[in-house]
Structure 1
């Protein structure tokens, strides 16, 4: 980082708290490395640190903000990041001086308190906790004694493969969105585990995601080389409006095997399980081994039996399998370090600009994983090209209040997924300030920084005081037993009897217009893949707050 020389006197700035000392972590002839963590005692909307040394330091390099040289012993570091009381501003320093230099440094916050940006008003930890509850609500099968959703009970216990998650407001278990959602959720646990810890939700996250991993393990039969990729008939299921607990229709199973291709779903499932093996490694190594072994077997099978699964059409049908194969290879590379997987992924990757991240298209995920592993410029350019296309001026539509609006089907889903990818890219060192600010602003929009219903309207159900009351979700619309639940509930007036906590609805149109109507399965649909990236972004934002890297936001319609 270039150090500007200025005549600014930092002595004109008043310290907000006592200074802390830097700690030398490494030194050599002519240079040193140090670290520091400064506790925050006041709400800060941007800050300035004073960094002083007891001997001459010619220049310093930091990555948390902009460093300005006052003299050989005095520097300031400035940032527009928001901080709350209880946070810490932690950073590394690289400095240069004469000889085997090991200076003692003192860091003091000298930036004054100011009104917090819109991001400071969001309780991201609460939003994350509620998103976990949504996935618990989607559980199929025999529920555990500690089921946190009192209005849900055992359902479809006689499925050929019991367990798993219902797809959306319906009750089919589709392999493409299941594997896609599980991969993103697992990625968030691997990357932002501290976010779950800080939110007090780590145990809940492990419990929630293990439900789908267990289902995948049951769905894969290594002896038969067969994976169950769908349970339920989409047409019959969608014609039924009622509780999953009351279903008595046939629920046929569909399989991928040596005669029925489906490398898209099999490769995606391998990715999910490989990510899960990393996430569970420190918690339960034996379980992590089970996940990894299944992931390797699935990937090997998919590699030898390429092609997409057509049996999920017209509900879910993939446009190709190379992106899922790349994801599977990269997660196995991360889990094992085996170079053969990295070589495979390089063969599968498409370096074109991705349209968006969703259950069908994992292109940007593959590119990001490859950049993280290799730091090669071709992958960096692909990732940055994606965000350039998503940022203002890049061709995507923005609503008046600032939502990056990709499509009427799950507009919130695509924004949440891209926000998650932006936070991951920032962790890899790609334009951290820009990417983090944009990502948090997208999540802020979803949590209330919009104009609907006079503003402060959360598109995540149960968050805040204003949120959707009529999601397109059968179970939530049904009154308590023994009252019947029929098509009448689809069009019933008034709020759903049960609050579908944590569900992210489809979202507004390109003009910020939204109708809270249960029968509107475009704007008011909920789904496991709608929540996945949004969920991961929430964990990422809690992580940013925990490590003192929360950006200042500037939403167009702040709550």
Structure 2
């Protein structure tokens, strides 16, 4: 039944992927922290967080707010940056006039990460005290909650956040190499230093920072995947054999990595279908599978085998499918912000399909053969579902299509802008705005919300943040997905 629904939706697409791509990148301007440039297009957003880091004499101005709050969580921010960079690396030619904006989106993050890693043996992992921030429903421009900086160090390590920042810097260095070689070299040099720190001083920021990051962005899957992920990107950027050897030598740690249980939250299942800000497993295998010309064919074959297993974990008709699908064809996994899985896994399906095409290979899932074309079709169904080809005929991208979420869980969008209400809106003045049934006054164009439940139902309510909150890590891989489909539909 699900497969038939998926096939039916795919046949009636007709979406403007170019328009959706432009808007998906524009969304990042609405998430900016710091001094906004004159080129800022979402003009209802203003400067914010201009004193970040000042209390300890460090410049930590810039970067992104991760979602509808005003904390800068560097772990998911770094993964979003890595995915933006991977999107440009794979689909640069398809981006057209949106490429400069995509580069701006990446640079807004990497400029900040250069600041966050400037001190040897120290990496800043977060800015903002999360409990007071989440208690207050304030515009970023009005923030008066503590902007506490949190860091990891040689004595209190945080390998996952440090390695993910290293991955982001290395991936971005590839993107900027042809347009700004000096900046590219700076990013790559810092990526090497930060990776060395992450690998030498091993430990989780769950332990070093504790309640400031948990339960918000706990690392459930261990930091081994981030170390291998960062080494993979450093190899892509440098072609230095030592990084590839590191990936090969540590793959067994990834193979048998057990998902941790934190605060009694169970985790586990097939790591082959795991890819997101926490778990990099499937992404590592797809990225590493590109290196099929490597001398160590046994490990090369392992990467390919694991990437094949990823496909078989998500393919709707696969006998070893691990994920679920809604009646309308939406890929679904338990937890909040479900569309993060649809965008991230669709990105991998497209990228791996391209690699399979080059190698003239298909994937065999039991008695089911998955061609590269089928992988692309599955990804397109997810993209089209997000853009409105679903039982509610509703786009889950703000500003795209005729029907989209109006009451997203986002402070800046839901409160009047400084242009309309220049007076300060305090922490306890939120109720009339949060509880209003009126649409948000500021349109956060391009924002993709958490999405519907497994029965394709969606409640357009700020209070239902699991479904109505947008995040950078939903949008980042979608940029690559939309760029790919834009390229396929253009003459």
Same fold (TM over 0.5): yes
For the pair 1:150 / 2:43, whether they are aligned, the reply is: yes
User: Structure 1: which 5+ residue stretches go unaligned?
Assistant: 1-115, 549-559
Q: Give the one of 435, 439, 447 matched to 2:387.
A: 447
The match for 1:213 is: 110
For the pair 1:250 / 2:146, whether they are aligned, the reply is: yes
Aligned-partner Cα distance in 2 for 1:364–1:531: 18
The match for 2:486 is: 542
TM-score, structure 2 as length reference: 0.84
Secondary structure (helix, strand or coil) at the match of 1:292 reads helix
The match for 1:331 is: 233
The match for 2:403 is: 466
Q: Give the one of 91, 94, 105 matched to 1:195.
A: 94
**8 Å CA contact retained: 1:408, 1:509:** no
**8 Å CA contact retained: 1:325, 1:348:** no
Displacement of 1:396 after TM fit? Answer: 2.2
The match for 2:365 is: none
Bigger mean CA deviation after superposition, 373-382 or 249-258: 373-382
**8 Å CA contact retained: 1:133, 1:501:** yes
**8 Å CA contact retained: 1:353, 1:382:** no
**8 Å CA contact retained: 1:323, 1:348:** no
**8 Å CA contact retained: 2:142, 2:424:** no
The match for 1:517 is: 461
Aligned-partner Cα distance in 2 for 1:395–1:145: 47
Displacement of 1:168 after TM fit? Answer: 0.6
For the pair 1:478 / 2:396, whether they are aligned, the reply is: no
Secondary structure (helix, strand or coil) at the match of 2:123 reads strand
Aligned-partner Cα distance in 2 for 1:505–1:256: 31
Displacement of 1:357 after TM fit? Answer: 1.3
Secondary structure (helix, strand or coil) at the match of 1:254 reads strand
The match for 2:172 is: 276
Q: Give the one of 159, 168, 176 matched to 2:75.
A: 176
Q: Report the number of matched residues.
A: 425
Bigger mean CA deviation after superposition, 306-315 or 266-275: 306-315
TM-score, structure 1 as length reference: 0.74
For the pair 1:235 / 2:131, whether they are aligned, the reply is: yes
User: Structure 2: which 5+ residue stretches go unaligned?
Assistant: 1-9, 54-59, 256-269, 294-299, 357-361, 363-370
The match for 1:134 is: 27
The match for 1:313 is: 214
Q: Give the one of 332, 342, 357 matched to 1:405.
A: 332
Q: Give the one of 462, 473, 494 matched to 2:438.
A: 494
**8 Å CA contact retained: 2:129, 2:145:** no
The match for 2:158 is: 262
Structure with larger Rg: 1
The one of the two structures with greater contact order (alpha-carbon pairs below 8 A, sep at least 6) is 2
Give the helix-richer structure, 1 or 2.
2
The match for 1:342 is: 244
Write out aligned runs for 1:14-33 (5 A): none
**8 Å CA contact retained: 1:364, 1:383:** yes
Displacement of 1:483 after TM fit? Answer: 5.8
Displacement of 1:138 after TM fit? Answer: 0.4
The match for 2:275 is: 357
The match for 2:18 is: 125
Displacement of 1:408 after TM fit? Answer: 4.1
